[in-house]
């Protein structure tokens, strides 16, 4: 494949200022991201108020229950015969 297809590509950057183009692209992406987040937060897809994941706050009875603190879980205490 020859480079003949791209011989005049550099002339595009003589017509378009690269600093302004990159600044425009970055600002557009940031504004688009903010706009999409605001639209989603204002709709049924709001992830702040859907209750997922369900947060667990134990009550006093569950907090005082004994906890198994063995170094190896019981499922791994398999003895080979």
Residues forming the annotated binding site for Ca(2+)? 47, 50, 52
Annotated binding site: 47-48, 50, 52
Annotated binding site for bacteriochlorophyll a: 47-48
Q: Give dist(CA 63, CA 7) in Å, integer.
A: 73
Structure letter (DSSP) for residue 73: -
Q: What is the largest CA-CA distance in the chain?
A: 80
- Of 32, 50, 53, nearest in space to 41 by CA: 50
């Amino acid at each position: 494949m020859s480079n003949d297809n791209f011989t005049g590509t550099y002339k595009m950057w003589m017509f378009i200022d690269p600093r302004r183009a990159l600044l425009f692209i970055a600002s557009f992406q940031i504004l688009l991201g903010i706009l999409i987040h605001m639209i989603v937060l204002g709709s049924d897809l709001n992830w702040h108020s859907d209750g997922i994941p369900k947060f667990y706050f134990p009550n006093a009875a569950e907090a005082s229950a004994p906890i198994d603190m063995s170094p190896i879980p019981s499922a791994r205490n398999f003895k080979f015969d």
